Amino acid sequence: MAVPLPTFVTRRRPDWDALQALLTRQRSGRLGLAELRTLDTLYRRAAADLAQAQTFYPGTDAHRFLNQLCAQAYGAIYQPPRERWASTRDFFRRDFPATLRREARFVGVSAGLLVLGLLLGALVVTLEPRGAELLVPEGVRRYVAQGRMWTDDLLSVAPPNAVASGIATNNLTVTLFAFASGILLGVGPIFTLVNNGVLIGAVGALCFREGMATGFLDFIAAHGPVELSIIVIAGGAGLMVGQALIDPGELPRAQALQARGREAVKLVVGCAPFLAGIGVVEGFISPGHLFPTWAKVGLGLSLGALFWLYLLRAGRTDAGVARVDVPEAMASSRLR
Amino acid sequence: MTPSAPAPHVDVATPERVALSLPVAGIGYRCLAWLVDASLLFFFWVALYFVITLLVSDVLGAFQALSGLTQTLLAVGLFATQWLYWTLAEVFFHGQTPGKRVMRIRVVREDGSPVGFFESAVRNLCRAVDFLPVLYATGCITMLLDSRHRRLGDLLAGTVLVREEAIDLDKYTQAPPADAAPGSTPGASVQRPLDAEDVELVLAFLARAPGLEPEVRQRLGARLVDRVGASLTDEERARVLQSAEATEAFLRTRAKAAH
């Protein structure tokens, strides 16, 4: 037979207060071993109290309080392991390249889309001289008409944020968007890839037609290969998300989305340091005439080759130990 | 939970075989938390701008001289405020950015366990899409459509935002005021014990009574006395209903009645 609710609360409250105090301490710093043992004991007691409250006092404030207290303690006790340096190293050494190779189909499709855009943009501008007015941003057109590269005095006339608009220099935004827009049924990455391809192709063809091919090459060569690769990989990750939405296979859509999303984000997170590195190249080496064009082309090609060599070769030896994502799906489905 | 509360919940089965159910944070909480975070980031940028203008007298000239560095810094700054801030805060502060902490909401996985790096990375990368076309319009629409108020990023990462309420247990453990003489509460101990629902009702009334209008206080008190003190004789009932103090003392004793 249940005791009256106030008696129950009065009797058990010291333990709950102690547990709350411990949780506050745990959040602000580290607990000693003895305190952790206490935390464990108190959590189990609180869980037992919650079970009692659920049976005898459902819907009361005491029940809600215990619910919340147990949830906080549960969160504190069952924390995911902290991402340590070793696991980061492991991720780049094996997990990221292996994931990329496993999802090579999507990256291939993504690359195809970008190339399609490039060809379209270049064709339109080459075949139809007026086409440039449609595809190339006006600021760039003005510069090209004057026979100058728009990158020569990037910051002399325009504030920095206006520079990024129109040219695909804002690689970070493009990369993030190519991935994240995959949740729009995969239409987003397709649009992003083709759109950027068309833009680059059109600008390149326009420069070529105006006899400024070397200038264009000079600007794009050093960072182009790696940067386009990263955009392609991010687009592939976005396509993975879209595919999980359209064709979830045997899982419910929500679960397929989560399982695939976790894989896809690995590709984006893996690209992040390379994106940072290539951003430095784009900021310091590409603009201006500090380096001759042949050096930039050589640097760009070798960086691109190294990047892909890493992606295709790293962690090959134990590629047989492919991680299976079944436990993940099971873990999230054990509640339904 | 009471069937009259259709508020969305996340149900969690812990290894201790106790079912938790966590209240989900709705669109209002989320908007306010975002506003707090956004203002923090805004002040960060403003402060940065002032620092730069203090250090460098000719800002535009310096930017021109360091065009490469500026571009890199801008990209890094954008990245930091758009993604790094949110993700690191959620990973290191147990699913709470500063704004979420102010609003007492928290990001957890759908099974109630704490959020990890990859989940947080996904849900914050998706801000770029949720923000479209302006001010999180996409995210707000999906929140309104989804039963658990999730935006696209949450759907992709498998995360939910849960709310933490401030619940006061004092009403259960409050000692009765000293002026309530034991003789003034007749028949309280010979009645059947109350069930939890009635106790909750009485205690909620007692906690709020001092702030009520006098006649409302009297009326509600009388109704509660009729509900929990059914076996009172007529003169006992009249004595209990004499004053608000007597009524509430009687109710308090009833709620605390042991067996």
Per run of 10 residues, the mean pLDDT along chain B (length 259 residues) is 58 79 89 94 89 74 62 70 88 90 91 84 86 82 88 89 84 60 47 74 85 87 82 79 83 70
The residue behind tokens 């929500």 is A254
Q: Helix or strand or coil: residue A192?
A: helix
Which stretches of chain A score pLDDT less than 50? 154-169, 319-336
Global pTM value: 0.72
Residues 158-197 of B with CB under 8 A from A: 158, 162, 164-165, 167-169, 171-173, 193-194, 196-197
Query: How long a stretch of residues is chain A?
Result: 336
Closest-CA distance of chain A to residue B52, Å: 15
pLDDT at A318: 53
pLDDT at A82: 66
Closest-CA distance of chain A to residue B105, Å: 12
pLDDT at A287: 66
CA angle B144, B148, B153 (to 5 degrees): 80
Nearest CB among A156, A169, A183 relative to B156 is that of: A183
The token duo for B46 is: 């403003």
Chain A neighbors of B118, CB-CB under 8 A: 262, 265-266, 269
pLDDT at A322: 46
Instruction: Tell me whether B156 touches chain A (CB under 8 Å).
Output: yes
Instruction: Tell me whether B127 touches chain A (CB under 8 Å).
Output: yes
Instruction: Tell me whether A56 touches chain B (CB under 8 Å).
Output: yes
pLDDT at B3: 42
Q: Is the peptide bond before B133 cis (omega within 30 degrees of 0)?
A: yes
pLDDT at A116: 95
Q: What distance in Å separates the CA atoms of residue B33 and residue B103, rounded to the nearest whole number?
A: 6
CB contact under 8 A, A283 and B13: no
Neighbours of A177 (CB within 10 A): 24
Q: How far is CA A114 from CA A147, A238, B10, B193, in A?
A: 28, 14, 41, 75
pLDDT at A150: 59
pLDDT at A114: 94
pLDDT at A107: 95
The token duo for A250 is: 């045997």
Q: What element of type H or E holds A188?
A: helix A187-209
pLDDT at B38: 93
pLDDT at A176: 84
Q: What distance in Å separates the CA atoms of residue A91 and residue A97, rounded to the nearest whole number?
A: 9
The token duo for B153 is: 């990023």
Q: Could you tell me if A103 and A86 are in contact, meaning their C-beta atoms sit under 8 angstroms apart?
A: no
Residue A113 exposed, middle or buried by CB count within 10 Å (0-12, 13-18, 19+) = buried
Query: Which residues sit opposite B163 in a β-bridge?
Result: B105
pLDDT at B60: 65
Q: Could you tell me if B251 and B211 are in contact, meaning their C-beta atoms sit under 8 angstroms apart?
A: no
CB contact under 8 A, B128 and A173: yes
